[in-house]
Structure 1
Amino acid sequence: MAELLTARAERLPLKAPFRISRGVKTHAEVVVAEIRDGDLFGLGECAPYARYGETPDSVLSVLAGAAQGIARGESARAVAQALPAGAARNALDCALWDLEARRSGQAVAARLGHPAPGPMATAVTISLDAPDAMAAAAAASADAPRLKVKLGADDPGARLSAVARAAPGARLIVDPNEGWTVDVLTGLADLIARLPVVMVEQPLPADADAALAGLGYPAPLCADESAHTAADVGRIADRYQVVNVKLDKAGGLTEALAMAAEARRLGLGLMAGCMVSSSLAIAPALWIGAGADAVDLDGPWWLTRDRPGGCRVVRGVLHPPQPGFWGDPGSRP
């Protein structure tokens, strides 16, 4: 029986506004791809990202084109591989991993030859806000081992210091989301050296990060927007010490695994990241998290309600979804 691809957009309410240097959101805007083969079906979720010119409608349009190719008899895997890296390919690629597990009776763990990912510490994100509000959010999550602190160029030192005081036992990931200049970055070096900062993620705009080459800094610098796929890793290896691998950037688990392998080959550290999303997007990303130095997969933690049987974040520890949720031939929760 021929495979059939469909897709739908969903708006998932957040329990609090999620602010970064580029803006604020109150809902996670996601697209779910479903590919069927008879009675079996696989699911994949992506989060279209305006930073890369993506919207739910644009992703649905790309997936509609992919569905037409599959309906004409083209291999779904070949159709997925022909798509550009990004959210649409991520949804289809992950849906195919899920379908292939159910069709073959082999979980992703067996196909990759690795144990299924277990619980792992994840950073809990502190959204950009006034210093006292960020301190209150940090205090509420002070038992998490790592906090990811969203910052902009407006008095970042005060905000970072407020978080550090409110959660003195947490290690900190600083994330300006391309919102700084070289002067801001170097001006904060002394403060960052005094605080338990484990890395600074994408401090400069991706098109201005050549200034980071050879820059000595008290914390490792992590590429996010500057590196989407495996082909990008070598280009930025002289500017960063860590690479953030996100399935929505890479275009699915297939490319994310290749990107992680290339980062390791070049001696770079590895971070597993995500967009604000449900556990359906996080389940495949756990395979990157299992081999990463740092994990930032708290997307579902922001939702008022996650999908049944999904991941749980308890005191900064991410617990995998129930058996059968994704990439497992067992019954869905």
Structure 2
Amino acid sequence: MITDEDRKFGEFLVDRGVVSPSQLVEALRFKKHQDLELTQILLNKGLASDRSVFNCLAEYLNIPFIELRDYDIDTRVLELVPKEIALRYKVFPVFKIENSLTIAMLNPGDVHVIDTLRRETGYEIEPAVSIERDILEAIHRHYETSESFDSSLDEVIQNIQRQKPQEDEKEKAAERLKRLSAETPVVKLVNLIISQAIVDRASDIHIEPDENSLQVRYRIDGILHENLSPPKHLQAAIISRIKILAELDIAESRVPQDGRFQVSLNGREVDIRVSTLPTVYGENVVLRILDKSSLMMNLEDLGFQELALQQLKSLLSSSYGIILVSGPT
């Protein structure tokens, strides 16, 4: 069935040079007998490329066209839309701002899908356009990464819980902590905590002991988010493992200490600064993540207005003087 909207969008495609008038007539003739979207018919018959069609669709509807490969996806956003729903409707959650969630989709005019996503997430849905293969690739890449981390973490926690802490009263405390921190499950758990924080683009990892629990939280965009709660009896081993990496004194837990170490993740060199602080329930540890790759930005990427950018470039070209940059930390 052909609608007025199909004809209007088809004419828009002709005006933009994406299809010829004869190709549009062919596609509309085919649509009379097929329950398919005009965009899908154009692609199935090879009359236009997917990127050009969906770019025009975004322009026609006055909504964004999203290149999903350009976005770093927050795992907390993925949790809002189950993988099954993402695959069923070929949609992908990109980011959220306050009570609105931006979703990349093939057909942003599908009211049924938007209502379903609104009910499922509890957020107002802001539709955006992306091509099918990019959406499916993003679903498989990001959801599998998230599921892989969760399953790895569960496996590590289960292995740790099956292991009974071995206490030897004759063994010195420092030697016992060093032995515990070198055990494979503890090493793997600490590695998972750090690598996931880097993937989530966290600026800090907070390891906070309480009376009966141990909490790990990530600071992302200035906000602390609860991540996981390892077994309380592993507190000393986890903290000692981090102190060993940062070349701190594992036997000293009564005074603050500072150190640093470096990790490599997917070819990226990341500096980690470590600060420990004694508390009533054990040492509180903060790891500051300094991702060198994220610091390599052009002046144009920093959000300057055009006039301010030109003024700054003029000052930088001067042969003398000083530019003072200050901030909260």
Common fold, TM-score beyond 0.5?
no
Which structure is higher in helix share? 2
Higher Rg: 2
Normalised TM-score (structure 2): 0.20
